[in-house]
Amino acid sequence: MSEHATYASRSTHAFEGETAGIVTRSVACVADGLVVLVILVAMWAGWSAVRFLTHPVNFTLPSPSWLLVLTTGGLVTFLYCTVFWSTSGRTYGDQLLGLRVVGGDRNRLHWSRSALRAAFCVVFPAGLFWAVVSPQNRSVQDVLLRTVVTYDWRPQAEPGPRSE
Amino acid sequence: MNATAVPDTSALLPVPVPGAPGEAVAVLHQAARAMFGATALVTEVVLRTLADSAPNETDERRTSSLQADDVADGLLGLGWGAARVTVNVAGLAVRAMSVALDPPLVPQKLRPVRLLRHVSLSWRAERAEAVRSLAAWSTIVAPAAGQVAVRLVDVDQLLLTSLERIDLQQLAAAALEELDVDDLMGRTVAELELRPLIEQVLAGIDLTSVMKDVIARVDLEEVAGDALDQVDLTALVLERVDLPRVVASVLDQMDLTELVLERVDVIKVADAVVDGIDLPGLIRGSTGSMASETITGIRLQGVEADRAVSRLVDRVLLRRKEER
């Protein structure tokens, strides 16, 4: 709590450092989903370009199966979240809504913990809605992995040790 | 008439001794010469006047005029000889008279010369008054005499002859050496009424043609350059010219926009301005500021929505705020 107090005293707004609610986190997830969708479309376009270059005569647009789309989407989401949570602590959706994913000690997550949380989010996205009834606005993933999503409008994360 | 050429002849004349017999003889000589000279001059003038005043004279008349001159010269020569004889005789008479006036063996008081000396001293005493009287008389008589002299003398011919014999250049140089020309000009200018004189001169001159001639003969660029070199034109303009008024007047008479569009490469200027401004940075900053405001709005609305949901859930679950 002392670190939290210290952090709160440095923040511009009084609510910064508090755990974020379901609305902001849901909007952030939607924004991240759009980002993943854009990535998937880009991959599909690249795949199409490669196919056109390799088979220009018999070229047809690729039509991947839903399984492939979901698998690829899940994999992209996993990588996307792992990389951003372990580096800046925030994905693009978190950046947009002013959120940051940190450990219980308010430090940046280790990449392994970020990977676990990302995998959990991909496999069980509905765990987010536990934040509605949780007194501390914590999702299932937060409870199991002892992470916290806080309001943080600062451009960069507070320097410090990574939370294992 | 050359002043420098005239020798001082006073030293050559005998110094008169009052009362001496030689003095009287010399006086007689000089008087005779003066009278003869005057007579010859008058005769010469009369003869020349008669000869020149004859209208449409022919060569024959000229020949007769020359003969008359010869006759006149002959007569004058005879007169001169007679005068010399007369003077010599008069000299002998004067010597005899001097012996008579100062006879030897006669007491001093009884000598006639003493009476003459007495008369001479009286004349010397009264000479000043006599001269003044003569001067007054001359003043009265001089104008009439001058007119008579002018009538007798051909003034134009006299002047021409005089001018031929005078070295005017040397005379003018000598006069200029003696004169203080600056002082003379200053006083002359001070005494003249220049304005009417100048107006009269200007009225008689076609100034336009004169100025054209002057402009054609003068290297105006050189003159203007020399004048401008001696003048601090910038300081002069700043001191004497109402610059704001001039600039305002010029700007009123000009269509500045049209002038700029006509004379200025606006595109080039705009490129230079754009190059000088960090326009991308400016746009980035302004759009970044707009984006930042939008994001702040979204974030604040998100926070408010979170709190509203939390309050709603707390009410539904009958949870107090302190339990969170």
DSSP B196-211: HHHHHHHHTS-HHHHH
For A118-140, what is the mean pLDDT? 93
pLDDT at A121: 95
Question: Residue A96: its chain B contacts at CB < 8 A?
Answer: 295, 298
Question: Residue A20: its chain B contacts at CB < 8 A?
Answer: 306
Q: Do B324 and A24 touch (CB under 8 A)?
A: no
Q: For Cα atoms A144, A145, A147, give the angle at the middle one, nearest 5 degrees.
A: 115
- Decide if A30 touches B, using CB distance below 8 A: no
pLDDT at B11: 46
Widest pairwise Cα distance in chain B: 195
CA distance B127 to B138: 16
Q: Tell me which of B294, B304, B306, B309 to substitute to probe the interface with A (most A C-beta atoms closer than 10 Å).
A: B306
Kindly report, residue by residue over A57-100, the tens digit of the pLDDT.
988 999 999 999 999 999 999 999 999 999 999 999 999 999 99
List the single residue in A21, A132, A153 with the smallest CB-CB distance to B299: A153
For B290-312, what is the mean pLDDT? 89
Q: What percent of chain A has pLDDT over 90?
A: 71
Determine the distance in angstroms separating the CA of B310 from the nearest CA of chain A, rounded to an integer.
7
ipTM for the predicted complex? 0.83
Q: Do A22 and B324 touch (CB under 8 A)?
A: no
Q: Could you tell me which of A26, A92, A131, A106 has the C-alpha nearest to residue B302?
A: A26
- Decide if A135 touches B, using CB distance below 8 A: yes
Q: Do A21 and B323 touch (CB under 8 A)?
A: no
Q: b/e for B104-126, b at 16 or more Cβ within 10 A?
A: eeeeeeebebeeeeeeeeeeeee
- Decide if A136 touches B, using CB distance below 8 A: yes
Radius of gyration of chain A, Cα coordinates, nearest whole angstrom: 18
**Which tops the pLDDT comparison, B279 or A34?**
A34
User: Above 50 in pLDDT, residue B291?
Assistant: yes
- Decide if A96 touches B, using CB distance below 8 A: yes
Reported confidence tier of residue B152, pLDDT bands at 50, 70, 90: confident
User: Above 60 in pLDDT, residue B202?
Assistant: yes
pLDDT at B110: 82
List the single residue in A27, A132, A135 with the smallest CB-CB distance to B302: A27
Q: For chain A, give the mean pLDDT.
A: 88
Global pTM reads: 0.43
Q: Could you tell me which of B79, B98, B97, B101 has the C-alpha nearest to residue B33?
A: B79
**Which tops the pLDDT comparison, B120 or B56?**
B120
Top mean-pLDDT range of A47-51, B36-40, B41-45, B155-159? A47-51
Widest pairwise Cα distance in chain A: 67
- Decide if B299 touches A, using CB distance below 8 A: yes
**In sequence order, which ranges of chain B are alpha helices (DSSP H)?**
21-53, 59-101, 112-152, 155-165, 168-178, 181-191, 194-203, 207-217, 220-229, 233-240, 243-253, 256-263, 266-276, 279-316
Q: Do A96 and B298 touch (CB under 8 A)?
A: yes
Q: Which residue has the tokens 């707009």?
A: B290
